[in-house]
Structure formats: structure tokens, C-alpha cells
Amino acid sequence: MNEIHLNSHSNGNGHSQIQSSDELLDLLCIGFGPASLAIAIALHDTQDLLSPSPKALFLEKQPHFAWHAGMQLPGARMQISFLKDLATPRNPRSKFTFINYLFEKGRLNQFINLSTFLPTRVEFEDYLRWCAEHFEREGRVGYGMEVESVRPSDKNSERKVTSWEVTALDTRTGNSVIRRARHVVIAIGGRPVVPQNMQGLKHVAHSSQFASTITQIQQREEGRKLRFAVIGSGQSAAEIFNDLWERFPDAEVKLVIRGASLRPSDDSPFVNEIFDPDRVDGIYNQPPCERAVAIALDKATNYGVVRLELLEHLYQKRYMQRLESSDESKWRCRIIPNRTVISASQSSKSSMVLRLGEPDESKREEAGLEEMEVDYVFTATGYVRNAHEDMLSEVRHLLPQELQKEGKFKVRRDYSVIFDGDEVDGGAGVWLQGCNEGTHGLSDTLLSILAVRGGELVKSIFGDAGAESGVSEA
């Protein structure tokens, strides 16, 4: 089997030490989370049909592979079937299926005995890490590489851009690393959002940092009776609320939600078809207004909702508090509905005051404000997915004039950025992953379509060679 080429040096810990080079890569992926990993797997599964073998490189800001490390909580389970792994929906015969992972790890029969489609999140991360290790061993992944910019590099005789120059900071050495590639994929995930009125306060953290932060709190605050607030009404908020409830038996924990109650996620069969890969074509081809309405309706299946099993668990625990007292104000752990944080301020070095009010401004004055003093706040308030805009600031002038005025990087159905054809050659491209929900639907930021999407992207870049290995039509 031909291997995808990459010149690199080992740094002694199994990871490649990426250095600047004039070598022209066929593909450079920025970010090495599940989206880029799915691309690497699709490329691996099709490489026997590609000649010559593509030269590919993956750059990741983290020091090692990690997936939602901040939310790896005890007992937390996946919300989708393990069959929606990084290979099975595209090619169930791939060596990178979750089933083969279990087989290679010697746990297949025991997993079968669990009679579940939902592995723990810890096990699924281990599966992802197992996949990533294959490409690490081949020297195709550079960790600790924080990409700063993508800019035009080579041009042909028609003065069209034919390649891109990617500059990254090696966080281990502080040196800049420059690599060139014909095609660049940006798959860097979202940036955590902390509400503006809580930014800058001590002891406020986003849910994405929960696992590491809470360990530090345990060590630092041993023996102290703590007060926690969790802001949000989705799965992450509910998991953090539940974890704090159990981890700190004497602590006061309050979950502040905008709605009247926590709501269950809908993962029934017909609704789950929203996330099928073959739905993307229809979503992308809808008129923008219709598409926006459809996506807004679909959001109720994934945003601000909680798995039913966890809701039932929390309700049972809350009921046991009712046995002790019918006065909810005396409960140690409470859900505070119909409230949002209006303002927050530091009351001392170790605590802060949150002022809560009605989410509906028209009712706020009548309902009044209430204050809550807490020691720590965790905000499960989502992500913004626009980090690619800064990274691509030096290629904005290559967009068509009408898109330059809008200031946005729009993509085609195949996820390639729409450049001015007179400025960029057809053999060069930039591709965006995980930031196209507005055009490609709700599944764009989820695991559900990554296997098929990775195959689509490989086919778009390298042609039809992958068809026989299960790469789906775009």
C-alpha cells in the first residue's frame, strides 16, 4: 500500500516535529479534531486509487489529540449511535470503524453484551485517539502548531493563485513555521462564548474547561462549603449541574435557565433523518429565506435540550429533596427557571453577585431583579464559529467583489470558499469545515456526517478515484 508522503522529524515522543519547508503539499488541514481526522481516514481509504500518492499534513494547536476534554465527565454517554463513527457511513469495511477499534482492543464481545448504541464519551474519545495515532505514527500530524495566517503563495502565468502559504507558531519553541499547499482545509471548531457581562470576573469558566477547572477547585477548596451557578439549559449545562451535585455533597448548586423548564432532545427516528448526509444537498439548494426558517426549526433537536435519561435522573434527585422539605428555597440544588443574568460583579476576592431577571425585557421591570451570591460560575453558553475569518484576512481581496462587500467567506456545496475565478486557479482551494451551519444545515457541526463529508471533500480535491472505496457523491 502506498503511503501519503510527508517529510518530518520525530521529536522523541511519537509526535512529528514540523519544520518550515519549500515542499509543496497537496493538502494541508488546519486543526486535527474529528473533522480533519475523518478527512485523513477517507484519504487513507482511497490512497491506493490515487497516483501519485498525495502529500498531506495536519496541524493542531493542542499539544496532543483531545476531543471535548473539558466535558469528559464520569458516566457521560454519546448522544448519537457509535455507527456514526468516522468511517462506517462512508465505508463499513474501513479499518477505522468503531467496530474494528473494539475488535483491535479486545472488547468487541463485551461491548456487544452491553446492548447499547451509545458508548461512554470517554470510550469514544479513546476511539478517536486510536484513529489519530495511526497518522501520528506516519508523521503526518504536527501538534502544538497554532496557525496564524493563510496567504496567497505561487501564481501561474495568468497571475492566478495556485497555492497557499500557511504560517504557524510552534508553541513548544516559539518559532514560526511556514508550509505551502495547493489546498487548505480549515477545521478548527468553535470558540467558547462567555456572556459579556461575566467576562473578566474571577472564577467564571466556560463549560469547555469544566473538567480541568473543577479538579483544581477540589484541590484548592477542600473543606469549604461552596456555592455554584451553572448558566444554560442544554446537555452540557445539565451534565455540569448533575456532576457538581454529586461531586460536592455540601455545596449549593443552582442551574439558571431562560425557559420555564428543561426540555428533552428529540432523537426519534424521523427527526434523526435531519442529520442524514443525504439531506445536505436539499438544505444547501433551498432559497436562503426558506433554509433559515427550516434550520431554526431544526435547532430544537440539538440546542438547549437534554437527553431524556438525564432529565429523569435529575427529576428523581430533585424529588428526593422535596421529601426533606417542600420549601424549594431551602433545597441545596435548585433549577432557577425564566431567568437570565442581567449583570454580574465581584463582591470579594472569592465570590461574585449575579443579578437575575426575566429574559423578556418587557416583563423585567414588573418581575424585578433578584441577586445570587456564588463562588464559581460555569457558563454552558455555546460557541462562535468565525475563527477562520481572522485566519483568512489576507485573502479577502481574492473574493468576488460582491462578497468582499459582505465581508463573509461563502462556500459552495463542496465546502470550498468561493473565490474570484480570475484571481484563483481551479487547482487551488480553501475549504471550510464546521462553520457552515447556515448553508449546510444543523449537522455541519456534529459527528453525524463527518465520515461521508470527509469522503466528499477528498473526492472534490483529488477527483473521482475514491468512488470505488465508498466515497459518496457530493
Q: Summarize pLDDT for 359-392 with one digit per residue, the tens.
A: 988 888 777 889 999 999 999 999 999 999 999 9
Average pLDDT over residues 263-278: 92
Q: What is the pTM of this model?
A: 0.92
pLDDT exceeds cutoff 60 at 76? yes
Q: Which tens digits make up the pLDDT trace of 229-266?
A: 999 999 999 999 999 999 999 999 999 999 999 999 98
44 grid coordinates? 487513507
Query: How many angstroms separate the CA atoms of 465 and 2, rounded?
Result: 15
Higher pLDDT, 10 or 440: 440
Q: Which tens digits make up the pLDDT trace of 180-208?
A: 999 999 999 999 999 999 998 999 999 99
Domain-wise residue ranges, the chain:
9-190+385-469, 195-265+303-382
Other Cβ atoms less than 10 A from the Cβ of 148: the count is: 13
Query: How many angstroms separate the CA atoms of 344 and 325, rounded?
Result: 30
Strand order of the β-sheet with 340-346 is 340-346, 352-357, 370-374
Architecture of domain 195-265+303-382: 3-Layer(bba) Sandwich (3.50)
Residue-averaged pLDDT of the chain = 91
Confidence at residue 300, expressed as pLDDT on a 0 to 100 scale: 81
Query: pLDDT above 90 covers what percent of the chain?
Result: 82
Query: How many angstroms separate the CA atoms of 34 and 130, rounded?
Result: 12
Q: Do domains 9-190+385-469 and 195-265+303-382 have the same CATH topology?
A: yes
Which residue, among 65, 69, 47, has the nearest Cα to 56 in the 3D structure? 47
Confidence at residue 324, expressed as pLDDT on a 0 to 100 scale: 93
Match domain 9-190+385-469 to its CATH number in 2.60.40.420, 3.40.47.10, 3.40.710.10, 3.50.50.60: 3.50.50.60
Confidence at residue 469, expressed as pLDDT on a 0 to 100 scale: 36
